[in-house]
């Protein structure tokens, strides 16, 4: 049973504010069609009185709920009792000081940290949210769960289904729009994989209809429980920084689930008196999928106390349709033109005095190579955060001595095609994968050295290049 005594669902629009029980399966407000939050009656729950209390959990890490990087913060997402929680050990991630990448961005030593969410069991940050959505799905008795995906949500859903055997996974992907690393996960884990003739935005529209028609539980980030899990990324960042908030959180923006979840996390921590100031938030779009940038920075769309002028967004979507403009970027994970969490993200930008930027595929891949050369690595979409931080530094928005955390959302091995094409000596392969995206050069390529099958030649090459 879900914790109906302390948690409920609430429409984010203050004009509507409709509430529903958390035992209902909803992805939109039944009254006005807006987005829903999971809300808490904190007087009935038992929130911590200090963030330091969470440190005690580590000594109890033999218990799965203390080991999980999501559920050790259960007191800040108390919508289900412990016995209903689904965990596969997600959230064992790393916050790493990265001076080498910091120098590339233009920051002083010690000021940049990278949050490696690719270390999650399915290789991306999605596992944080999926364990929360799965937990809710379980409390409602769901048998099947579905998502539309650019690859990571589907990998995560497929993994939770196959590890727990609690539900069957149905995933929707756009044709030719998913990297092999991610597709191979969904196939290997046994998900029913539906490849539709269209892109992510089309797949997202269809999966909502299908879930409605067949009563399937939808796990995209439009599901408010997903975002409860993703709040914990910020708790872990704070924990790794000894609970001292950084000046900036920089995150790639696709469907805008992460940015929305981060804003909610900080606003709740402030409300609970656990944090006295919140970091600023920078959301980074790719040039070819820049709806948030266009609406927020160019057309000045704002949260406006919960009354954003959504007609601005509708006009923009009409323009996209009229001009047949589809999202297009090498960062396939964020190749999204109609972000489902737009209004929640506007709220997060308000809470965190946020900015939005867009970066080119060239900047993304160069930033990705810098991250990779510092070790561990990330997939292209993740590197948008580093490229965005660099741009903000160049613009003087971020100061050289400010403390910055870039969120690396997915593992390097998710998209080896882009990485190998960047480092290749084969011009044809480079052009085929990257040239068509406007990428002209691989500024930080580490090229393989071709030698004959001959000891002398090999020794000579090693002497020359090492
Ligand atoms: N980075 C990666 C690696 C992603 O997979 C995604 C989203 C994002 C960033 C964007 O995050 O939606 O919270 O703004 N991937 C989704 C998917 C859409 O289907 O896997 P967001």
Atom of ligand 1 nearest to the CA of 148: 19
Q: Give the nearest ligand 1 atom to 155 CA.
A: 20
pLDDT score recorded for residue 4: 74
Nearest to 138 by CA among 161, 158, 115: 161
CA of 3 to the centre of ligand 1 (A): 29
- The phi, psi pair for 320, rounded to 5°, reads -60, -45
Closest CA to 264 of 252, 248, 247, 281: 281
Give the pLDDT of residue 13: 96
Using the mean position of ligand 1's atoms as its centre, give its distance from the Cα of residue 378 in Å.
13
DSSP 142-193: --EEEEEESSHHHHHHHHHHHHH-SSEEEEEEETT-S-HHHHHHHHHTT-EE
Q: Which one, of 259, 280, 289, lies nearest residue 129 by Cα?
A: 259
Ligand 1 atom closest to Cα of residue 254? 14
Q: Are 332 and 416 in contact (CB under 8 A)?
A: no
Upper half-sphere CA count for residue 50 (Cβ side, 13 Å):
6
Cβ–Cβ under 8 Å, residues 250 and 385: yes
Point out the ligand 1 atom lying closest to the alpha carbon of residue 257: 13
Query: Ligand 1: distance of its center to the CA of 328 in Å?
Result: 15
Pocket test for ligand 1, best of 158, 201, 255, 379 (most atoms within 8 A of CB): 255
Q: How far is residue 92's CA from residue 219's CA, in Å, rounded to a whole number?
A: 22
Q: What is the number of the ligand 1 atom nearest to the C-alpha of 150?
A: 19
Any idea what the Cα angle at residue 204 is, between residues 203 and 207, rounded to 5°?
A: 80
Three-class SS string for 75-137? HHCCCCCHHHCCCCCCCCCEEEECHHHHHHHCCCCCCEEEEEHHHCCCCECHHHHHHHHHHHH
Strand order in the sheet with 94-97: 94-97, 112-116, 404-408, 248-252, 280-286, 355-359
The Cα-based distances of 279 to 234, 243, 245, 424 in angstroms read: 10, 12, 6, 39
Pairing mode, strands 112-116 and 404-408: parallel
Q: Which ligand 1 atom sits closest to the C-alpha of 345? A: 14
Sign (positive/negative) of CA torsion 151, 37, 115, 370? positive
- The residue nearest atom 7 of ligand 1, judged by CA position, is 333
| Inter-CA distances, 313 with 295, 449, 465, Å | 7, 50, 53
Residue with the smallest CA separation from ligand 1 atom 19 is 149
Which of 334, 341, 412, 414, when mutated, tests ligand 1's pocket best, judged by the most ligand atoms within 8 Å of its CB? 334
User: Which residue's C-alpha comes closest to atom 12 of ligand 1?
Assistant: 255
Give 97: exposed, middle or buried? Use CB within 10 Å, 0-12, 13-18, 19+: middle
Task: Name residues contacting ligand 1 (CB within 6 A).
Answer: 124, 126, 149-153, 221, 252-258, 333-334, 379, 381-382, 409-410
The confidence score (pLDDT) of residue 373 equals: 94
Q: Could you identify the atom of ligand 1 that is nearest to the CA of residue 260?
A: 13
Tell the residue nearest (CA) to atom 15 of ligand 1.
333
For residue 438, what pLDDT is reported?
Answer: 86
User: 3-class DSSP state for residue 19?
Assistant: strand
For residue 247, what are the CA distances in angstroms to 129, 194, 271, 400?
25, 42, 19, 11
State the distance from the centre of ligand 1 to the C-alpha of 40, rounded, in angstroms.
Answer: 26
Distance 333 CA to ligand 1 centre (A): 5
Q: Which residue bears the tokens 């959180």?
A: 249
CB atoms within 10 A of CB 454: 9
- Residue 65 CA to residue 71 CA, distance in Å, equals 5
**Which letter does DSSP use for residue 42 in this model?**
T
> Among 114, 133, 150, which is best to mutate for testing ligand 1, by the most ligand atoms less than 8 A from CB?
150
pTM for the model stands at 0.97
Q: How far is 123 from 187, CA to CA, in rounded Å?
A: 15
C-alpha of residue 200 to centroid of ligand 1, in Å = 11
* Residue 273, phi-psi category: left (phi > 0), alpha (psi -120 to 50), beta (remainder): left
CB 161 within 8 A of CB 167: yes
CA of 251 to the centre of ligand 1 (A): 10
What domains are defined for the chain? 94-122+250-418 (3.40.50.1100)
Q: How many CB atoms lie within 10 A of CB 217?
A: 23
* 233 CA from centroid of ligand 1 (Å): 14
Protein residue with least CA distance to atom 4, ligand 1: 333
| pLDDT confidence of residue 403 | 98
- Nearest atom in ligand 1 to the alpha carbon of residue 147 is 19
Q: Give Cα separations from 123 to 51, 126, 164, 295, 415 (angstroms).
A: 27, 8, 17, 31, 11
Given the DSSP bridges, would you call strands 144-149 and 94-97 parallel, antiparallel or unpaired? unpaired
Closest CA to 358 of 290, 301, 295, 260: 290
Q: In 371-410, which positions are buried (b, 16+ CB within 10 angstroms) versus exposed (e)?
A: bbebebbbbbbbbbbbbbbbbbbeeeebbeebbbbbbbbb
Per residue of the chain (466 residues), what is the pLDDT tens digit?
667 789 999 999 999 999 999 999 998 999 999 999 999 999 999 899 999 999 999 899 999 999 999 999 999 999 999 999 999 999 999 999 999 999 999 999 999 999 999 999 999 999 999 999 999 999 999 999 999 999 999 999 999 999 999 999 999 998 877 899 999 999 999 999 999 999 888 999 999 999 999 999 999 999 999 999 999 999 999 999 999 999 999 999 999 999 999 999 999 999 999 999 999 999 999 999 999 999 999 999 999 999 999 999 999 999 999 999 999 999 999 999 999 999 999 999 999 999 999 999 999 999 999 999 988 999 999 999 999 999 999 999 999 999 999 999 999 999 999 999 999 988 888 888 888 888 989 899 999 899 999 999 999 999 998 8
Query: Distance from the CA of 98 to the center of ligand 1, in angstroms?
Result: 23
Please state whether beta strands 144-149 and 217-218 pair in parallel, antiparallel, or not at all (unpaired): parallel
Distance (angstroms) between ligand 1 centre and the Cα of 254 equals 5
**Strand, coil or helix: 260:** helix
Nearest ligand 1 atom, CA 151: 20
Q: What share of the chain is helix, strand, coil (3-state, %, to 5)?
A: 45, 15, 40
């Amino acid at each position: 049973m879900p914790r109906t005594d302390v948690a409920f669902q609430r429409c984010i629009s203050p004009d509507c504010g409709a509430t529903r029980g958390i035992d209902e399966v909803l992805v939109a407000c039944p009254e006005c069609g807006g987005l829903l939050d999971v809300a808490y009656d904190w007087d009935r729950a038992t929130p911590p009185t200090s963030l330091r209390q969470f440190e005690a959990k580590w000594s109890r890490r033999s218990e799965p709920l203390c080991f999980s990087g999501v559920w050790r913060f259960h007191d800040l997402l108390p919508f289900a009792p412990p016995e209903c929680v689904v965990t596969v050990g997600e959230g064992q991630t790393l916050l790493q000081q990265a001076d080498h990448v910091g120098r590339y961005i233009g920051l002083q030593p010690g000021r940049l940290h990278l949050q490696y969410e690719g270390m999650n069991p399915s290789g991306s940050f999605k596992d944080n949210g999926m364990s929360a959505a799965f937990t809710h799905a379980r409390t409602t008795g769901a048998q099947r769960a579905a998502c539309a995906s650019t690859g990571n949500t589907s990998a995560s859903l497929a993994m939770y289904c196959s590890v727990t055997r609690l539900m069957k996974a149905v995933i929707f992907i756009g044709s030719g729009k998913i990297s092999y690393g991610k597709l191979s996960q969904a196939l290997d884990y046994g998900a029913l994989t539906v490849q539709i003739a269209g892109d992510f935005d089309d797949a997202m529209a269809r999966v909502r209809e299908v879930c409605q028609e067949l009563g399937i539980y939808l796990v995209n980030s439009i599901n408010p429980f997903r975002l409860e899990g993703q709040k914990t990324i910020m708790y872990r960042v704070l924990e790794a920084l000894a609970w001292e908030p950084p000046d900036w959180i920089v995150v790639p923006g696709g469907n805008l689930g992460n940015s929305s979840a981060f804003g909610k996390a900080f606003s709740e921590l402030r409300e609970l008196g656990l944090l006295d100031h919140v970091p600023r938030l920078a959301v980074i779009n790719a040039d070819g999928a820049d709806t948030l940038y266009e609406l927020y920075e160019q057309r000045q769309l704002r949260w406006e106390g919960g009354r954003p002028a959504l007609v601005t967004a509708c006009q923009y979507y009409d323009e996209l349709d009229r001009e047949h403009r589809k999202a297009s970027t090498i960062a396939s994970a964020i190749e999204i033109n109609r972000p489902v969490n737009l209004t929640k993200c506007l709220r997060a930008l308000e809470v965190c005095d946020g900015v939005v930027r867009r970066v080119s595929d060239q900047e993304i891949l160069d930033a990705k190579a810098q991250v990779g050369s510092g070790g561990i690595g990330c997939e292209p979409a993740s590197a948008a955060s580093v490229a965005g931080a660099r741009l903000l530094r160049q613009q003087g928005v971020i100061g050289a001595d400010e403390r910055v955390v870039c969120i690396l959302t997915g593992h390097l091995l998710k998209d080896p095609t882009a990485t190998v094409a960047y480092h290749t000596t084969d011009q044809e392969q480079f052009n085929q994968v990257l040239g068509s995206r406007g990428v002209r050069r691989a500024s930080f390529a580490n090229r393989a050295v071709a030698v004959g099958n001959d000891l002398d030649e090999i020794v000579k090459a090693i002497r020359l290049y090492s």
